[in-house]
Amino acid sequence: MLFAHDTEYGLIATAALVNTTGDHGEALPDVAALDAFFAAHGWTGRHEHTDAELRSVRDLRPRLRRIWHAETDEIVDIVNGLLREAGALPQLVRHDDEPYHLHAVPRDAPLATRMAVEAAMALADLVRSGELSRLRVCDHPDCDNVLVDLSKNRSRRYCDASCGNRAAVTAYRARRAATRP
Ligand SMILES: [Zn+2]
Ligand SMILES: [Zn+2]
């Protein structure tokens, strides 16, 4: 493991949230979709199942996506802003089956606030480790998904939306077309 488990988890969850909008369409169209996302990414704590909650989660995404395209100083501004706005106060906690990890806002804080703070805490780790180059955009030309390259040799090029397979198929077709008489 490259980073603390909650850092890696936070980075992956943040990329997944960013990728709910973009070239692949809107993946959080309604409250039910947010419920599914909440469950799929192991979120616990306050969850209101309301349109207002959905809106605030959706509104957070452009700010988080920006991080994947920004230089270090701007990333630091965004991260500090997210922590400041939430009144973040890091505390080590243990709940459910998870080992001790950091929470910086209470579990009954709004979902979008907790998502913002989890992202900011994980990104703060990445900044301090000088590892921002791990934040990458999918190499597939038709995909704007973001990814976090947590591989040892920094070899990850594609997001999880089967872009690696799509790229392989495209390359295969191109090779076949080129060798056709
Ligand atoms: Zn937790
Ligand atoms: Zn992709």
In angstroms, what is the span from residue 99 Cα to ligand 2's centroid? 32
In angstroms, what is the span from residue 93 Cα to ligand 1's centroid? 7
In angstroms, what is the span from residue 158 Cα to ligand 2's centroid? 5
This prediction's pTM: 0.91
Q: Which is it for strands 135-137 and 101-103: parallel, antiparallel or unpaired?
A: unpaired
Closest CA to 33 of 14, 15, 51: 51
**74-86 pLDDT per residue, tens:** 999 999 999 999 9
d(CA 54, CA 48) in angstroms, rounded, equals: 9
**27-68 pLDDT per residue, tens:** 999 999 999 999 999 898 999 999 999 999 999 999 999 999
